[in-house]
Homo-oligomer: A and B are copies of this chain.
Amino acid sequence: MTTLLPPALRTARELVEPTLRSAVARLDADTRRVGEYHFGWIGVDGAPTDAGGKALRPAMVLAATETACGTAEHGVPAAAAVELVHNFSLLHDDVMDGDTSRRHRPTAWTVFGSSAAILAGDALLAVAPEVLLESDVPNAAVAVRSLLTTTRVLIAGQTADLGFERRQDVDLTECLGMAHDKTAALLACACSIGPLSAGAPRESVRALHAYGTELGMAFQLVDDLLGLWGDPEVTGKPVLSDLRTRKKSVPVVHALTSGTAAGERLWELYEQPEQLTEAQLCEAAEMVRRAGSEDWTRGECRRRLELAEAQLEVGSLGDTAALGELAEFIVRRKL
């Protein structure tokens, strides 16, 4: 059950967490408590815990900064800012999606109420650019603009995701666009904002941004496969969870729009007003497979990874071993 974590993840937590903690410590006492609970630093009772996330995005920021600038430390303010924006979006998405569990713990809104979770998300979004603007990185303002543009893309992605729930006519292109907006855009920002803030050459920043976009797409495709066939003990969600909630993830939309008999049958199941039985859930999963959508998604994931790697050739970058380890971890996790 244990997954071997790349050393870059532990190093990133050690380097970035002090900045993150001091950013959250600036919030008013009540909002701070919600933020600290959400980050896994305290329990419901306020006592310290160690339930923090993997700090994947901060690790990407540091690895990319090291690759482009020779040292990871210059990426610390950007890493903290990206992690704050990521957690702003988690806090708000959990409220909107009604999700009750995250990282194997009750979500913040279930503990403190929706309003407190909304306010905590707002506060993380407000404090994120502050961290960058107060630091001594040479291009803080440019980096903040990149972070905020990305935040608007995240918002567009969540808006599309909520819209898809009500729509019958979502096609694969829109679905991939939503995956880009919800996931790949922030990975692209994570892979480029450290070098951008530290004044790395423009072509390196551009290559790392493109790398992050492709890697982010692969990341989301793996996530979509985990939402169907992931191990509940690892994902913290029931088996076939995305089918239970009739989520329009990439493999599902691929199957629904495949024009195959399996796709037709999946439509029937998705349109059924009653909850799907366990037998129907298994049937739905089998239809996704038969429509060729599991294979297609795996193939697309591999293709995106190759596109990502190709970017590292063109950016006149230094050693990309740490970045590669993180990429490997992202796509191999929990499947």
Contact = CB atoms under 8 A, between A and B. Distances in A.
A148 interface: yes
A144 interface: yes
A163 B30 contact: yes
Nearest to A34: B159
Chain A: interface secondary structure? helix
A141 B137 CA distance: 13
Nearest to A89: B122
A28 B151 contact: no
Nearest to A162: B115
Contacts of A121: 122
A140 B92 CA distance: 28
A190 interface: no
A69 to B, nearest CB: 21
Contacts of A141: 133, 140-141, 144
Given A126-B148, A127-B152, A148-B127, A159 B28 contact: yes
Copies per assembly? 2
A155 interface: yes
Contact of A129 (B27, B119, B144, B160): B144
Contacts of A114: 96
A142 B233 CA distance: 47
Which of the listed residues A31, A116, A127, A129 has the most CB atoms from chain B within 10 Å of its own CB? A129
Nearest to A113: B162
Interface string A113-157: 011101101110111011001100000110011001101100110
B122 A133 contact: no
B127 A92 contact: no
Given A31-B159, A155-B27, A122 B125 contact: yes
A86 B160 CA distance: 25
A13 to B, nearest CB: 25
B145 A130 contact: yes
Interface in A1-43: 26-28, 30-31
Contacts of A262: none
A156 B31 contact: yes
A123 B145 contact: no
A95 interface: yes
A160 B141 CA distance: 32
Contact of A152 (B27, B152, B156): B27
27 contacts: A26-B152, A27-B155, A27-B156, A28-B156, A28-B160, A30-B160, A31-B156, A31-B159, A88-B122, A92-B118, A92-B122, A96-B119, A116-B159, A119-B159, A122-B125, A123-B152, A123-B155, A125-B125, A126-B148, A126-B151, A127-B148, A127-B152, A129-B144, A130-B145, A130-B148, A133-B145, A140-B141
The 5 closest A-B pairs by CB, nearest first: A28-B156, A96-B115, A126-B151, A126-B148, A141-B141
Interface of A: 26-28, 30-31, 88, 92, 95-96, 114-116, 118-119, 121-123, 125-127, 129-130, 133-134, 140-141, 144-145, 148-149, 151-152, 155-156, 158-160, 162-163
